[in-house]
Structure 1
Amino acid sequence: MKLKKLVYIALIGSVVTSTFSCTKLKEEFKGELEEGTSNVDPGSLLITAYNSLNTPYQQEQRWVMQEISTDAAMAPTRGGDWDDNGMHRAIHLHTWNADNGYMNNTFVSLGTAIYNATNVLKYKPSTQQAAEARFIRALVMFDLLDLYGVVPIREGESFEDFRIAPEVLQPQAAIDYMVKELNEIMEGLPANGPRTAYVANKNAAKALLMKIYLNKGAFLNRQSPSFAPEDMNKVISLAKEITATGAYSISAKGKYFDNFAPDNDEKSTENIYTLFNKNGERGGSVDRTWNTIAHYNMNPGGWNGWCTLSDYYNKFSASDERRGIYYEYAADTTSNRKKGFKRQNVGFFAGQQYNWSTNKPLKARNPATAPLVFTPEVTIRTSGATLETAGIRPMKYAFDYGVTGQRNNDWVVFRYADVVLMQAEAVLRGGTGAATDALGLVNSIRTNRGVPVLASLTLDNLLDERARELYWEGWRRQDLIRFGKFLQAWQEKAADPDPKTLLYPIPSQQIAVNPNLKQNPGY
């Protein structure tokens, strides 16, 4: 009961964070909080802060805005399914406005996480608990800055009195705040490796600092980002520090999907920071990784929705294990493993699909006589014979058949392969090191993925390598903006006529309740 009440208090606080009416609710909330201060367990509040990351990150909200807005993913309307008043189509077509549901839902979820993290700091947490909470807050601030260009935050008096509107940090101030926070908490964080990557740790803080320094120029000038040598050298230095711990290595050949498996907390050699999912304990939302893409007749069955584009799929060679393999893992209780059928069960699903228990070809649902063949061709509005089958479906997280309910796959936020690729990019962008050094870093990944090494490295083929390595992990939009390609045309999306789309609009609902928020240009 105590934990339930703590969660309730945190949720009420998050609602009040995003609205400024209901004065009596504010007074009652504050009174209850003050009355129970001596009984509040900061450890329970910290768990609430961690849990508040699940919804925006695990293939929902923040993930949608980062991936479906790009060439990597699309949520086509399939007849009457997946229409939602055009909300999904608008994200891919870059025709969103400030009233699109994803604008407000994501903004509120990220703001809730910031509130929950800050709330931990009120109740005498240990040094490590405080450091973990501040890491969570910095991570979410980074995404708010990336998506919306500003960061609303409640601290001090505005955290205590909800009649005071949250301060809104502009890009440079937000960058300075995050860098200061992460450096201050570094010593208080544990030096956890892949086995406990779900706990905020030193290397996670360093990976986040790398992201900040690498994207700093884009955050300050999205149309014409610049990359200061001192920032690139910080990226390189932090990458070397992470490597020097000896805690991480690029997954061996055939082991790429260990990073996303139901027991990835035991198998991964790359995961630096993850979101905790454990059946019967805590977690949630990771099931969306299957539900959003799987056809109704597959096992696991899903909602038959999202897909990738054929041009993106064609970036992979046939030998690239990242494109899809039969992956043997203990939680696969189907005959695919037991009887040795060895049908592909992870990666990009294209062509005829099979029942992993009987090894028989699957059929579609409507018409039931049609073979379930996922086609590369897909339009943003599908109909007719290919209504259910259009589009190649990526499934990166191997399905956990061993449990009913919440699956055990921890969601990956930061991974060592990304650190290596960021280091290579920083060298190419003017940091200390030779082009051959950057090439060697990228080829160290490619060799383990079963593809030939590159003869040379350019920004263009580095971006393609990031597309292959990090597909559907929530980084594609950020990468395209940093590389100057987000406004270009791609399949089912014309070139953007206005650079305003380099930022999402501030949700109308938020501007209405926070006078410190100003709408982004062009909206």
Structure 2
Amino acid sequence: MNKNYIKAMILSGLMAFSASSCTDDLDLAPKYDVTSANLYNDFANYKLVLAKLYGGYALTGLQGPSGAPDVTGFDEGKSNYIRAYWQLQELTTDEAVVAWNDGTIFDLHDMDWSSSNEYIRMMYDRIYYQIALTNEFLRETTDAKLSERGVAEANLAEAKKYRAEARFLRALSYYHALDLFGNVPFVTEQDKVGAFFPNQIKRADLFNFIESELKAIESELAGPKQNEYARADQAAAWMLLAKMYLNSEVYTGQAKYTEAVTYSKKVINSGYSLQQNYRHLFWADNNTSPEIIFPIAFDGTRTKTWGGTTFLINASIGGNMNNADFGVKEKWGGIRTTKNIVNVFADPSGNTDKRAQFHRDGQKLEIESIGSFTDGYAVTKYRNIKSTGGAGSDPAGVHPDTDYPMFRLADAHLMFAEAVVRGGAGGTMAEALTYVNALRQRAYGNTSGNISASQLNLNFILDERARELHWEGHRRTDLIRFGRFTSGTYVWPWKGGVKEGRGVEEYRRLFPIPSFDLTVNPNLVQNPGY
């Protein structure tokens, strides 16, 4: 979405709600005396409400960066959707550790979390806040409602597209619920507004719902690259379907690798192209990239938050690192990586494979203490520096312009290759090799990093996903799919709370339903093991 629309959404004060748990996620009390009766009478407001739905992934409230939270009960900045998601997807793996001993955050890397872990609940509540917003928007934009309000015929097609995008966003949040929590509370626009106890849906049934939603809206979304920046198009829906199908065996017990081949190929052929310079994908003007299919948009002056890329940039700077090199004025000294990720690069200097972006000076490869920022190499991937030079727009140098690349084309290349290697029909090993080597040619600047057909196997693909996609919120899902998340056959420093790493209980492939929701909703059954 054009960042001006996000600015308009913030300034308008429209559709601000508070939510504390999924059991009252439909009991949304509007602030600022804005109600459906007056909000939806003017079609000009519909786009602002849609902006709120998109903005919920980047922002934590209307005031920004703190002071008027959408979801209460936590430090507002820590509960940012992208920050919460990233922490569950990365701090539980070999890709990241954090130095701050804030509450129960160390439990994520130690893999001994409980149902009372506040970082798990932050994500859970954010998911259901987003679902609540989209449900309400869908209730208020039915054909009957539009007719009742006398919405002009000329606006009906646009309203239909808005609804399709809202359904995509709901599918995205439900996908996160599916992946992180499994069997979860389920609510749609068909449920009446008011406090009630949502029923729990089985993981496989939720998979089917998300799949059906994405297929239903496929023809209603804008064509690939035809929507405004950061708004969903057909390629975004195809990307989410490809990810669903690639992980279907985990989610449903049924492999759907042929479908993963089909939809990743649709993405590859959709008109997006690889960014010429890999590093620019994560810099302050990455909104110009031809590769990013669905970003979460951030702007240093309009979307101020302590989460998102503000967190990813500032928290990754510490020790003797020069924060000016990253376009910010603060060093938070928090997140860095383990030797496992460093070691997937034959040359961690970045001189050969440009995807190796580590600050090693003053940093130790071995992590003796998670609480020491200088234990573990720092990752320099995200920056608030433009590819043309100069920092982002925030005069204070705190909040970046760098967008978060939720979906990008390179992932489709790797999903296609993996699905083919796993036996999916509709693609060839020759095609898979071409797509993988396209990424390696970009990384190396020539063909010196190309691999042969005999090297293209699942072990290579998992490592290549780490090289290409590290710190982009994929690692936990990848390790689970490859059977390496809980297993003692693959360990990393401090996995399971011990320096050498150890295997953990199999049930930790899912997070627990937060204890708060279990207490108030008698319809919920906890995930096994918790």
TM-score exceeds 0.5: yes
In structure 2, the residue matched to 1:402 is 392
C-alpha distance in 2 between matches for 1:11 and 1:292:
29
User: 1:388 Cα shift?
Assistant: 4.5
Q: Is the 8 A contact 1:49 1:116 kept in 2?
A: yes
Q: Is the 8 A contact 1:191 1:201 kept in 2?
A: yes
In structure 2, the residue matched to 1:270 is 291
Say whether residues 1:116 and 2:116 are aligned partners.
no
Give per-residue Cα distances to partners, 1:297-338, cap 9 Å, x unaligned.
63233211111001211111328859986xxxxxxxxxxxxx
One-letter amino acid of the counterpart of residue 120, structure 2: M
Say whether residues 1:453 and 2:450 are aligned partners.
yes
Matches within 5 A, 1:46-85: 46-54=50-58, 60-76=83-99, 82-85=100-103
User: 1:244 Cα shift?
Assistant: 2.4
In structure 1, the residue matched to 2:167 is 134
Q: Residues 314 and 136 of structure 1: is their aligned pair in 2 closer, same or farther, counting only changes over 3 Å?
A: same
C-alpha distance in 2 between matches for 1:324 and 1:88:
32
Instruction: Find the residue that maps to 1:121 and give its secondary structure.
Output: helix
Q: Is the 8 A contact 2:14 2:48 kept in 1?
A: no
Instruction: Find the residue that maps to 1:519 and give its secondary structure.
Output: coil
Q: Is the 8 A contact 2:58 2:298 kept in 1?
A: no
Q: Is the 8 A contact 2:356 2:467 kept in 1?
A: no
One-letter amino acid of the counterpart of residue 379, structure 1: E
TM-score, normalised on structure 2? Answer: 0.79
Q: Residues 500 and 96 of structure 1: is their aligned pair in 2 closer, same or farther, counting only changes over 3 Å?
A: same
Q: Is the 8 A contact 1:54 1:275 kept in 2?
A: yes
Q: Residues 459 and 197 of structure 1: is their aligned pair in 2 closer, same or farther, counting only changes over 3 Å?
A: farther
User: 1:26 Cα shift?
Assistant: 6.8
In structure 1, the residue matched to 2:431 is 437
For structure 1, which runs of at least 5 residues remain unmatched after alignment?
77-81, 326-345, 353-372
In structure 1, the residue matched to 2:269 is 244
C-alpha distance in 1 between matches for 2:282 and 2:295:
10
User: 1:351 Cα shift?
Assistant: 2.7
User: 1:409 Cα shift?
Assistant: 1.4
C-alpha distance in 2 between matches for 1:2 and 1:36:
18
2:506 corresponds, among 492, 499, 511, to 499
C-alpha distance in 2 between matches for 1:202 and 1:143:
19
Give per-residue Cα distances to partners, 1:206-258, cap 9 Å, x unaligned.
0000011111110124xxxx52xxx222211222222223x222233xx0022
2:213 corresponds, among 171, 177, 181, to 181
In structure 1, the residue matched to 2:122 is 105
In structure 2, the residue matched to 1:466 is 465
Q: Residues 4 and 92 of structure 1: is their aligned pair in 2 closer, same or farther, counting only changes over 3 Å?
A: closer
One-letter amino acid of the counterpart of residue 210, structure 1: A
Matches within 5 A, 1:184-195: 184-193=216-225
C-alpha distance in 1 between matches for 2:450 and 2:10:
53
Q: Residues 458 and 320 of structure 1: is their aligned pair in 2 closer, same or farther, counting only changes over 3 Å?
A: farther
For structure 2, which runs of at least 5 residues remain unmatched after alignment?
1-6, 60-78, 142-157, 386-390, 496-500
C-alpha distance in 1 between matches for 2:464 and 2:29:
53
Q: Is the 8 A contact 1:75 1:307 kept in 2?
A: yes
C-alpha distance in 2 between matches for 1:407 and 1:381:
27
C-alpha distance in 2 between matches for 1:38 and 1:421:
43
C-alpha distance in 1 between matches for 2:352 and 2:310:
21
Q: Is the 8 A contact 1:58 1:286 kept in 2?
A: no
In structure 1, the residue matched to 2:4 is none
Say whether residues 1:90 and 2:79 are aligned partners.
no
Q: Is the 8 A contact 1:66 1:478 kept in 2?
A: yes
Over the residues paired in the alignment, what is the CA RMSD in angstroms? 2.9
Instruction: Find the residue that maps to 1:160 and give its secondary structure.
Output: coil
One-letter amino acid of the counterpart of residue 272, structure 2: Y
Q: Is the 8 A contact 1:260 1:409 kept in 2?
A: yes
Q: Residues 475 and 322 of structure 1: is their aligned pair in 2 closer, same or farther, counting only changes over 3 Å?
A: farther
C-alpha distance in 1 between matches for 2:34 and 2:22:
16
The percentage of aligned residue pairs carrying the same residue is 29
Q: Residues 431 and 2 of structure 1: is their aligned pair in 2 closer, same or farther, counting only changes over 3 Å?
A: closer
In structure 2, the residue matched to 1:367 is none
Q: Residues 242 and 27 of structure 1: is their aligned pair in 2 closer, same or farther, counting only changes over 3 Å?
A: closer
Instruction: Find the residue that maps to 1:481 and give its secondary structure.
Output: helix
Q: Is the 8 A contact 1:286 1:411 kept in 2?
A: yes
C-alpha distance in 2 between matches for 1:519 and 1:414:
31
One-letter amino acid of the counterpart of residue 259, structure 2: K
Q: Is the 8 A contact 1:324 1:349 kept in 2?
A: no
Name whichever of 297-306 and 64-73 sits farther off.
297-306
Instruction: Find the residue that maps to 2:335 and give its secondary structure.
Output: coil
C-alpha distance in 2 between matches for 1:380 and 1:242:
42
Q: Is the 8 A contact 1:197 1:272 kept in 2?
A: no
C-alpha distance in 1 between matches for 2:170 and 2:122:
18
User: 1:168 Cα shift?
Assistant: 2.4
One-letter amino acid of the counterpart of residue 393, structure 2: V
One-letter amino acid of the counterpart of residue 391, structure 1: G
Q: Is the 8 A contact 1:256 1:322 kept in 2?
A: no
Give per-residue Cα distances to partners, 1:456-501, cap 9 Å, x unaligned.
2111111000010000000000000001111132221133342110
Matches within 5 A, 1:135-214: 135-156=168-189, 158-162=191-195, 164-193=196-225, 196-214=228-246
User: 1:27 Cα shift?
Assistant: 8.2
Instruction: Find the residue that maps to 2:191 and give its secondary structure.
Output: helix
User: 1:437 Cα shift?
Assistant: 3.2
In structure 1, the residue matched to 2:302 is 281
Instruction: Find the residue that maps to 1:287 and give its secondary structure.
Output: helix
Q: Is the 8 A contact 1:152 1:167 kept in 2?
A: yes
1:351 corresponds, among 360, 366, 372, to 360
Give per-residue Cα distances to partners, 1:78-98, cap 9 Å, x unaligned.
xxxx1124x222111110000
One-letter amino acid of the counterpart of residue 430, structure 1: G
Matches within 5 A, 1:25-64: 33=35, 35-36=37-38, 38-39=40-41, 41-54=45-58, 60-64=83-87
In structure 2, the residue matched to 1:391 is 376
Instruction: Find the residue that maps to 2:507 and give its secondary structure.
Output: helix
Q: Residues 88 and 491 of structure 1: is their aligned pair in 2 closer, same or farther, counting only changes over 3 Å?
A: same
Q: Is the 8 A contact 1:323 1:348 kept in 2?
A: no
Q: Residues 446 and 324 of structure 1: is their aligned pair in 2 closer, same or farther, counting only changes over 3 Å?
A: closer
